[in-house]
Amino acid sequence: MSTERISELLQGLGKAATAAAGTLALAPSAQKNAALAAAAAAIRARRDDILAANERDLAAARAVHMSGARLERLRLDAERVAAIATSVADVVALPDPIGTITAEWHRPNGLTIQRVVVPIGVIGIIYESRPNVTSDAGALCLKAGNAAILRGGSESRHSSSALHACLLAGLEAAGLPPAAIQLVPTTDRAAVGYMLSGMTEYLDCLVPRGGKSLVARVRQEARVPVIGHLEGNCHVYVDRDAELSMARAIALNAKMRRTGICGAAETLLVDRACVATHLAPLVRDLLEAGCEVRGDETVRAVDPRVRPASEDDWYTEYLDAIIAARVVDGVDEAIAHIARYGSAHTESIVTANQATAERFLRRVDSAVVLHNASTQFADGGEFGMGAEIGISTDRFHARGPVGVEQLTSYKYVVRGAGQVRP
């Protein structure tokens, strides 16, 4: 597609999204919820169409020998479609933040000031081949009154289109403009570049969802604010005062429950003061669960299967059944290790010592810090926030799980009786 055609196409989407955002910002909760409920119903009703579309994507993917893991992420079945519908329907039950008064005060001159939650506006979402992002991101943006411009991976284009058609059916049923949720109707890669730099007039923010290279590219090239995380190099620190059985359960769960999610632990830190009692069981649990362990000298002494860790390992987000492990001199060295090598995503301390725990929770500068709980709880659903559009490792606007509440802005409403400024 020519550059001019891409530009024309995306400018058109941008204009339509801006107009739709104006309508969405004023749409009552009931209308947005009606659209979500109707979209969920449409997903259920059109299950066979969605699966047929997915089959076209899978056939194309197999033809180019897509890897098993990627193919698995792309694949839908009846159960997955049902889960996608449920996930959209669940957004209905979330509180609508728009219009909430988050602060209200009175000035000595008689002015009253309210801070009122409003939508961000138009949100662009750039994602790879998970078809469910189409409906999840569309639903969350809609609930928070934002117009969405979705740009999915080319491998999932038929699946995404089929799901998008259901979202459109929901919008239509509720009398909301179809441009509230638009799917970029081209898989031309130039469209991504244009969203990053050519649409500053229309896009209020961009959300990349995908691998590190996608997120890094969006961060590097985007000319509008970005919500996204680069990595989750998460740590579990087992303190001298950790109860051993709890430490074992948390370390194993944090690493191995699901290794491919951003809240999975990537490094295990063990206090030197409990090496004699705690280290061997922790390491053996992991090895026996099929995890490769890369350790410092002390860790390697535990078991011959432990491989040597290099400096690089402390920086690495494996997203796989691999963990780096080392011994540290107490909580302060653990905090220092995390500050140096971590990605400020999620870290957990296991200890029965309250003071040590509070020191860790206060001093570790990550989006989520946990005491005596698995890092795998770093998740919007587990936080009770409902669906999320991702976990932010930014410190700006939104940090941690990004749900409906984080997809909003605010304005100040000031009421007076004729006040002029002296």
Which residues make up the interface to a copy of itself (CB under 8 A)? 22, 25-26, 105, 107, 111, 113, 118, 120-121, 204-205, 220, 223, 225, 243, 246, 249-250, 252-254, 257, 339, 357, 361-363, 365-374, 376-377, 379, 382-384, 394-397, 399-400, 409-421
Give the neighbor-by-neighbor strand order of the sheet with 122-127: 181-183, 147-151, 122-127, 205-209
Rank residues 14 and 153 by Cβ distance to a copy of itself and give the closer one: 14
Under 8 Å between Cβ of 407 and 389: yes
* Shortest spacing between CB 204 and a copy of itself, in angstroms: 5
Closest approach, Cβ 231 to a copy of itself, in A, equals 15
| Residue nearer to a copy of itself on the CB measure, 307 or 383 | 383
* Closer residue to a copy of itself in complex, CB, 236/269: 236
Q: For a copy of itself, which is the closer residue by CB, 54 or 393?
A: 393
* Closest residue by Cα to residue 141 from 133, 153, 131, 152: 133
Nearer to a copy of itself, 5 or 107 (CB): 107
Structure tokens at 407: 């997809």
Can you tell me the distance from the alpha carbon of 44 to that of 394, in angstroms, rounded to the nearest whole number?
36
Of 116 and 214, nearer to a copy of itself (C-beta) is 116
Quick check: 204 and 46 in contact, CB under 8 A? no
Nearest-approach distance from CB 296 to a copy of itself, in angstroms: 25
Other C-beta atoms closer than 10 Å to the C-beta of 62 total 10
Characterise 196 by phi-psi region: left (phi > 0), alpha (psi -120 to 50), beta (else): alpha
Residue (9 or 377) nearer to a copy of itself, CB: 377
**Least distance (Å) between residue 193 CB and a copy of itself:** 17
236 DSSP β-pair partners:
268, 348
End-to-end CA distance of the chain: 59
Is residue 117 a contact partner of residue 410, using CB atoms and an 8 Å limit? yes
Is 325 within 8 Å of 270 (Cβ atoms)? yes
Write down the least CB distance from residue 258 to a copy of itself, Å. Answer: 9
User: Smallest distance from the beta carbon of 155 to a copy of itself, in angstroms?
Assistant: 29
- Output the smallest distance, CB 100 to a copy of itself, in A: 13
Cα separation, 267 vs 315, in Å, equals 9
